[in-house]
């Protein structure tokens, strides 16, 4: 089977791995400063290339925020999204902050 050759830009946005140090909470958001820095990196990457389509792999739901916002604006709100999630979201708000050290 022939492999498709894509001449479109492929860019990886590096994300710092969590450490054992607890992330600070700001404005009720754990790790807010780190999340905003990652969001800004993704936005800069998108703005450099101005793509017609974006494929996002990995991360949590926030990783899609910059791509979805960009594409929604580019297509004037006429955006369709195929979202494949590997797990159900069944935690309650009281479970959320106790399940993992980085949440």
Q: Which residue, chain included where needed, has tokens 């739901």? A: 61
pLDDT digits (tens, 9 = 90+) for 66-79: 999 999 999 999 99
The length of the chain in residues reads 103
4 to 10, 46, 99, 102: CA distances (angstroms): 14, 23, 42, 38
Q: Which residue, chain included where needed, has tokens 């936005």? A: 43
Helix (H) or strand (E) holding 71: helix 65-74
pLDDT digits (tens, 9 = 90+) for 37-88: 888 988 999 999 999 998 887 777 788 899 999 999 999 999 998 877 776 6
The full set of domain ranges for the chain reads 28-88
Q: Is the pTM of this model over 0.75?
A: no
49 close to 11: Cβ distance less than 8 angstroms = yes
């Amino acid at each position: 089977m022939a492999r498709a050759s894509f001449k479109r830009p492929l860019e990886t946005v590096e994300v710092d791995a969590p450490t054992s140090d607890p992330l600070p909470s700001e404005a009720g958001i754990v790790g807010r400063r780190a999340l905003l820095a990652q969001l800004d990196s993704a936005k800069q990457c998108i703005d450099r290339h101005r793509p017609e389509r974006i494929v996002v792999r990995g991360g949590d739901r926030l990783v899609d925020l910059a791509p979805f916002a960009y594409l929604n604006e580019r297509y004037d709100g006429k955006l369709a999204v195929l979202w494949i999630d590997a797990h159900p979201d069944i935690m309650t708000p009281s479970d959320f902050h106790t399940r993992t050290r980085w949440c």
